[in-house]
Amino acid sequence: TQSTWGGLTLMKAVIQRVLSASVTVDGEIVSSIGKGLLVLIGVSRDDTDTDAQFICRKLLNLRLWPNAEDKQWATNVTQNDFEVLLVSQFTLYALTNKGTKPDFHLAMSPDSARDFYDRFVQMVKANYSADKVGNGMFGAMMKVDLCNDGPVTILLDSNEKS
């Protein structure tokens, strides 16, 4: 099966280094962070726990900040004790090569995706610090506010694990 990023379907993450970010649902902030990472997560119908483990490990270990000596790309979110905000984003699987209406058939079905995504959130919390990891509201119409830092935006997919 082909994905919009080429190759097989795979778990996707859009990682943004932020000074702050928040998710609002129905006018109420459901989660917010200070300095850290806002991560949009796309889950494909073929994703496995191996894909989730790869994305988790990568996002927590990517060196996106300078160190104390101001050497760029030297430290990660955990070394800096920064925060992570995870947001489910099935639209990362939009196929737009035919017509003008996006096709989402490569995304995992909503019920399966909710369970997979919830397990992923727990995995990130277990591998970092539960109080440093925020979460959007799966399936809700969310307003995501952020203040980009850089900007630094990294596209990640679990196909890189091979």
Q: How buried is 72 (Cβ within 10 angstroms: 0-12 exposed, 13-18 middle, 19+ buried)?
A: exposed
Report how far residue 75's alpha carbon sits from residue 67's, in angstroms, rounded to the nearest whole number: 6
Report how far residue 56's alpha carbon sits from residue 16's, in angstroms, rounded to the nearest whole number: 15
Mention every residue, 6+ apart, whose C-beta is less than 8 A from residue 160: 54, 58
Catalytic annotation, residues: 89-91
Report how far residue 91's alpha carbon sits from residue 139's, in angstroms, rounded to the nearest whole number: 11
